[in-house]
């Protein structure tokens, strides 16, 4: 029986060294939990801190002791806490890279003390927290290239065939322009997307979406590095914005409608993978134009 994460599985089936590994992990989890509890034991959100990210010292320095509120340029390690408008406190955790169709998993069971300069806004759990954190920890860098725009007078913008290769090419040019061949550490890239959408009644709306891509210094700017992100995650972001308005793009509707199981059926009866298509009752809209602006960001200790 292979070792699993369930503590109730049979120890007799564990691989050699599994018991020690689990014991050490348990001790590490307990240590992290204790450190977080001690640092935040006296923390009570202030009225002025609602809707903001608060940094709490996790280590002792000349300027603060564990539990003290500290500024973004604090030299020691911190715990980052997001306080929503109802005073609910959510601690910052590092998450593993997201996989399509799966929930993100936290890298640690309990919040871990880190340097404020390594905080990634995308690791905050809610959109509201991420927006606040982006303003606090990220400052947009220079726009080194022109935005990528793809338009069509009829039909839907061809995302995979036209948008993806152009955005990837522009991103590689931007990173090369910004850093050349230098060792640059982490390279946070912000993608700002604007899509012009023609509604069934003839009117037009603009949909906006932002997402960040983290590149490490050891990763060369290759097509394969950006392709999955641009093809799937950015595309999914626009699709989500349309779904919130009860809309589906003409391209997506055409692909589902062309499946053998849907031939000759009205859209309300369409299925996908043997189940009713979730967007079968949505209105079909035409994405007539997409503009994407990649921007290099720099991590900073100073607010905007």
Q: Can you read off the two tokens belonging to residue 23?
A: 């014991």
Contact 53, 82 (CB under 8 A): yes
Asked whether residue 96 is assigned to any structural domain, the reply reads: yes
93 and 76 in a common domain: yes
Q: Domain total for the chain?
A: 2
Residues 127 and 182 in one domain: no
H/E element holding 189? strand 187-198
3, part of any domain: no
Among 36-50, 130-144, 176-190, the range of highest mean pLDDT: 36-50
What's the pLDDT tens digit per position in 66-108?
Answer: 999 999 888 889 999 999 999 999 999 988 765 656 777 888 8
What pLDDT, on a 0 to 100 scale, did the predictor assign at position 10? 67
DSSP state of 44: -
CB 188 within 8 A of CB 138: yes
Same domain, residue pair 73 and 191: no
Confidence of residue 12 (pLDDT cuts 50, 70, 90): low
Q: Quick one: 127 and 236 in the same domain?
A: no
Q: Could you give the C-alpha distances from 243 to 76, 200, 249, 281, in angstroms and in order? A: 43, 15, 9, 11
Q: Reply yes or no on whether the pLDDT at 190 is more than 60.
A: yes
Give the per-residue pLDDT at 247.
94
- Judge whether residue 23 has pLDDT over 90: no
Residue 6 forms part of a structural domain: no
Among 80, 106, 139, the domain boundary falls at 139
Tokens linked to 228: 């999955």
Q: Evaluate whether residue 71 is within a structural domain.
A: yes
What are the DSSP E strand ranges found in 73-159? 77-83, 89-91, 114-115, 138-140, 148-151
Provide mean pLDDT across the span 151-158: 89
- pLDDT of 301 reads 43
- Summarised one tens digit per residue, pLDDT across range 138-149 is 555 545 678 899
Q: What DSSP state is assigned to residue 238? A: H
Q: Hunting for tokens 């550490």 — which residue is that?
A: 185
Q: What is the pLDDT of residue 87?
A: 92
Given a cut of 50, whether residue 158 has pLDDT beyond it is yes
Residues 199 and 65 in one domain: no
Is 82 within a domain? yes
Same domain, 83 and 188: no
Write the pLDDT tens digit of every residue in 249-275. Answer: 998 999 999 999 999 999 999 999 889
Confidence band of 2 (pLDDT split at 50, 70, 90): very low
What does the pLDDT average to over 12-29? 81
One domain, residues 257 and 191: yes
- For residues 295 and 190, the answer to whether their CB atoms sit within 8 Å is yes
Query: Could you list the residue range(s) of the whole structural domain that residue 159 is in?
Result: 148-299
Q: Indicate the range of 123-132, 151-160, 164-173, 242-251 predicted with least confidence.
A: 123-132
152 and 246 housed in the same domain:
yes
Same domain for 203 and 75, yes or no, is no
Higher pLDDT, 38 or 120: 38
Query: Tokens 């037009």 — which residue?
Result: 204
Percent of residues, the chain, with pLDDT higher than 90: 52
Q: Nearest to residue 164, comparing CAs of 7, 3, 24, 294?
A: 294
Q: What is the pLDDT of residue 7?
A: 47
- 47 domain-assigned: yes
| Spatial CB neighbours of 93, under 8 Å, sequence gap ≥ 6 | 106, 107, 108, 111, 112, 123
| Same-domain status, 98 and 47 | yes
pLDDT at 249: 92
Average model confidence (pLDDT) across the chain: 84
Q: Which of 118, 139, 160 marks a domain boundary? A: 139
- Residue 217: pLDDT over 70: no
pTM above 0.75, yes or no: no
298 pLDDT band, cuts 50/70/90, is low
- Between CA 218 and CA 140 the distance in angstroms is 22
> C-alpha 19: how far from its chain's center?
35
pLDDT value at 302 more than 60: no
Q: Is residue 110 part of a domain?
A: yes
- Is 138 in contact with 290 (CB distance < 8 Å)? no
């Amino acid at each position: 029986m292979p070792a699993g994460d369930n503590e109730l599985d049979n120890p007799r089936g564990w691989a050699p060294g599994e018991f020690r590994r689990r014991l050490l992990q348990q001790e590490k989890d307990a240590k992290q939990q204790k450190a977080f509890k001690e640092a935040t034991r006296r923390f009570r959100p202030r009225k002025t801190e609602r809707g903001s990210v608060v940094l709490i010292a996790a280590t002792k320095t000349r300027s603060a002791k564990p539990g003290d509120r500290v500024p973004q340029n604090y030299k020691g390690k911190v715990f980052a806490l997001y306080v929503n408008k109802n005073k609910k406190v959510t601690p910052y955790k590092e998450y593993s890279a997201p996989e399509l169709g799966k929930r993100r998993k936290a890298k640690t069971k309990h919040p871990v003390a880190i340097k404020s300069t390594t905080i990634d806004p995308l690791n905050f759990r809610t959109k509201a927290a991420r927006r606040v954190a982006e303003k606090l920890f990220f400052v947009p860098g220079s726009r080194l290239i022109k935005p990528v725009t793809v338009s069509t007078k009829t039909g839907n913008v061809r995302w995979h065939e036209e948008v993806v290769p152009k955005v990837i090419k522009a991103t590689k040019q931007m990173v090369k322009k910004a850093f050349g061949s230098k060792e640059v550490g982490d390279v946070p890239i912000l993608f700002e997307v604007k899509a012009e959408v023609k509604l069934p009644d003839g009117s037009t709306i603009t949909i906006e979406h932002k997402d960040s891509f983290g590149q490490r210094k050891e990763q060369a700017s290759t097509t394969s590095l950006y392709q999955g992100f641009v093809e799937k995650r950015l595309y999914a972001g626009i699709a989500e914005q349309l779904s919130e308005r009860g809309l589906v793009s003409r391209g997506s509707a055409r692909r589902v409608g062309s499946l053998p199981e849907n031939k000759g059926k009205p859209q309300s009866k369409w299925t996908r993978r043997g189940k009713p298509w979730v967007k079968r009752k949505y209105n079909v809209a035409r994405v007539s134009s997409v503009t994407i602006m990649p921007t290099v960001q720099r991590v900073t200790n100073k607010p905007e």
